[in-house]
Amino acid sequence: MTTPQNDPRAESGKVVELGSRGDPRNERVGELLGAVRALTLKRSHELATHLLDNVDDALFDLAEKAESNAAQTQYFDGMREARKKRPLIERLFGEQVSRGFTDFAAGAPRTRSENPAAARNAELSLVDDRELEESLAIASMVSKADGRLSSALHALNQRLSVICGGHKIDDANNPLGPAALAHAFRNALRELDVDIKVRLIILKLFERYVLAGLDALYHEVNALLMQAGVLPHLRHTIARSSAAAVAEGVAPTPGAERAAAPANAATTAAVLADESAGLHAELMHTLTALLAARRQGRSADSGLSTGTAGTIASLTPAELLGALTLLQGEAGPLPANPAPPEGDATEMVQHLKDELMAQIRRLSGEARARVSGADEDTIDLVGMLFEFILQDRTIPAPMQVLLSRLQIPYLKVAILDRRMFAHASHPARKLLDLLADTSKGWSEESDRDHRLYDKTKGVVDALLADFDDDIGVFERQLADFTAFVENNRKRAELAEQRAAEAARGRERLQEARRRAAREIVTRIENRSLPLLLQGVLTRPWANYLVLVLLRQGEQSPEFHDALRFVDEFVDSAQMPGDDDARAQLRDRLPWLEKTLRQGLTTVAFQEPDLRRLLDDLHDFWRRQLGDQPAMPEAPSHPAEPLPIPESVTAILDEEPAEAPVTEAAAASADDTQHIQTVRALKVGAWIEFVDSQGTRERAKLSWISPISGKYLFVNRRGLKVADRSVQQLAAELRDGRAIILEEVPLFDRALDAIVERLRQAQAERQGG
């Protein structure tokens, strides 16, 4: 494998020519890209080595568990082939990664959207079962890696864009992005002569050992470029206010992904933990300052005023917890089908705050009551968190009702352990994030048995009933709910896989039918073909072409032979002009008859029907050869071309791979913003669809067809809800009939929104 140590280009650092247009910084740019390339080659080589070290063990384990001798043989053959060609794979992978940097540095990088039609055509021309399965595996693993590493990738893209003169860099054309590395490994893997099952297993290992270990590489490269002065102040978060997103009619763009470090990379885990802790510490510092400024700016007549309070002492945390526990005990049971919350969310939260103060007054026997400034800030912060929950369109209204009942338990947690807001790993925080994320896909239709709703209600009831001052109850509920979610996820994945396979099968069949129809129409239109021959080609032979495309593929000898039959069958309809032409036709007839018989037998053409058809063809060809008098009704002059049968034109009129947009969608064809939003969607994203009657259905993007580009959506049970083309979905986003739901965890979104709200309030006070 080409490594930085043995590659002279890496040693010199001169791997780019981006500054050759007269930019005096050319040498510096070349050094930076050379350093990035060298670091990428070194780290990717280490990760790939670790991957290949584990191939033998993985295949051996599968061979031991194989259900048949044939399967066991495939795995053992795969072990031997991988072991034999390991040095070649390592070298080719390194060369592919290095070539990616060379191509990147040669000029303005191309993006995915430069020529989508050409990309689709190229993909279609190569697709067969094996290629399709590999493509789907690669697309899935790249999509997950892009999502998990979105924060670090965003920073890398921005910094590489600066280095290459401002050209747009995205996840697809980043030379060290998951897509580039995955395709480099796939190309290297082509040298392995193994079964597709073995190849897919090795690709899965690539995801586990290479893509899962990219965190450290991206951190090192970002740090390297920061130290070199390339956007040194750029953070790895993509902040965006909720207000701006709502104004655009879609949910805010996801912020920083809190990537989980691979279990086998302690160094990476420590680096990411430090970085995450630093970001949360900075956020909490900002929140604390904003809350303090807000408190000081409020009027002193509030029941929670921290102004001069005479000799009234502040309540201790224990006293405050006691008041909250009493309120928690007064919470009545939730009805089986509670109505959505009515009224303003701020008023609802303020009402609980007023009840808390009334309880404090009763306990203290004082007409006035006072809490410390820190406790006041905590009460307000938890209140704003639950205001956000009640206003968050990502959570369905019935689930908002359930989660809103957790305000008192979470206020108690915040008073007992203020780290809840500062640490994403806090069990109470993880539980609320998981409850909200699971609720995102809930709907009445997808939860007819009420399993998810009842389980969520059970968690809420348990916290209200059991939580006193032992935070361990959150850990226990988190473990129980996580097991429930995982169990349901496995069932949903099976249904989701079946839905994707069914969609893939329909599209392959549809594409094969269109391809067969095009091939036949191209050869018979504008030709004077008798009804007998035209009927053969447009019906049974068209079915045979479809079958060959699906089984053997368009590059197969069988498909080429089937098309050759069409050409020669059409030619046999032309009256021979001389003896040589008649001799050539006589020589072709046995092959035509044999090929026709084999093809029609393959598509289950009945033997009596086949004999009658061949008898009719024999009569026709004898007349062509002059061995039999022409039928009285046969014309003595060339016939006019017959119209193409409706059975064929109907296939051609079916929705093509690039679906024609509806009139409504056509109006927004130039709306690049919504189209770009759709193309940026990752598998796993959730959408809320609204039909003409106002009925709402939530669905997850499960699969993107490599043939038609259509998006398949399923509900939380894995059942198909809808499929859409890019243009159709863009039109629905534009019209508000589809809404992208946030993917960022609830706590992170809420804290970002709270900071934005406090900053706006502070600006208004200062401006006023």
pLDDT, tens digit (0-9, with 9 covering 90-100), for 738-759: 999 988 889 888 988 888 888 8
- Count of the separate structural domains present in the chain: 4
CA dihedral 525, 518, 585, 526 (to 10 degrees): 10
At residue 39, the pLDDT reads 92
Instruction: Determine, yes or no, domain membership for 300.
Output: yes
Same domain, 54 and 175: yes
Three state DSSP letters for 388-417: HHHHCCCCCHHHHHHHHCCHHHHHHHHHHC
Same domain, 22 and 126: yes
Same domain, 101 and 114: yes
At residue 594, the pLDDT reads 94
Instruction: Determine, yes or no, domain membership for 482.
Output: no
Instruction: Determine, yes or no, domain membership for 154.
Output: yes
At residue 131, the pLDDT reads 75
Q: How far apart are CA 676 and CA 742, in angstroms?
A: 17
At residue 214, the pLDDT reads 92
Confidence check: pLDDT of 274 > 90: no
Question: pLDDT category, 366, cuts 50, 70, 90?
Answer: low
Same domain, 662 and 531: no
Confidence check: pLDDT of 496 > 90: no
Least confident range from 81-95, 268-282, 577-591: namely 268-282
Same domain, 409 and 511: no
Same domain, 356 and 416: yes
Same domain, 292 and 411: yes
Confidence check: pLDDT of 247 > 90: no
At residue 457, the pLDDT reads 93
**608: burial class by Cβ within 10 Å (0-12, 13-18, 19+)?**
exposed
Least confident range from 311-315, 355-359, 432-436, 733-737: namely 311-315
Confidence check: pLDDT of 265 > 80: no
Instruction: Determine, yes or no, domain membership for 666.
Output: yes
pLDDT, tens digit (0-9, with 9 covering 90-100), for 693-716: 888 889 999 889 888 889 999 988
Average pLDDT, the chain: 77
At residue 695, the pLDDT reads 85
Same domain, 293 and 362: yes
8 A C-beta contact, residue 134 and residue 200: yes
Angle at the Cα of 78 (from 75 to 82), degrees rounded to 5?
145
Range of the domain at 193: 8-236
* Last-in-domain residue among 426, 448, 470: 470
Which is more confidently placed, 191 or 357?
191
Confidence check: pLDDT of 515 > 50: yes
Confidence check: pLDDT of 343 > 80: no
Return contacts of 548-552, CB within 8 angstroms, 24+ apart.
Answer: 549/512, 549/515, 549/516, 550/508, 550/509, 550/512
At residue 364, the pLDDT reads 63
Confidence check: pLDDT of 527 > 70: yes
Give the three-class secondary structure for 149. Answer: coil
Least confident range from 515-529, 530-544, 638-652: namely 638-652
At residue 261, the pLDDT reads 36
pLDDT, tens digit (0-9, with 9 covering 90-100), for 55-68: 988 888 888 777 77
At residue 694, the pLDDT reads 84
Question: pLDDT category, 724, cuts 50, 70, 90?
Answer: very high
Between the alpha carbon of residue 282 and those of residues 286, 309, 379, the distances in Å are: 6, 32, 21
Give the three-class secondary structure for 655. Answer: coil
Between the alpha carbon of residue 61 and those of residues 74, 149, 210, the distances in Å are: 13, 31, 21
Taking residue 292's Cβ as centre, other Cβ atoms within 10 Å add up to 15
Listed in sequence order, the residues at least 6 apart from 330 whose beta carbon sits closer than 8 Å to its beta carbon are none
Same domain, 188 and 161: yes
Same domain, 590 and 685: no
DSSP 557-622: HHHHHHHHHHHHHHHTTSPP-SHHHHHHHHHHHHHHHHHHHHHHHHTT--HHHHHHHHHHHHHHHH
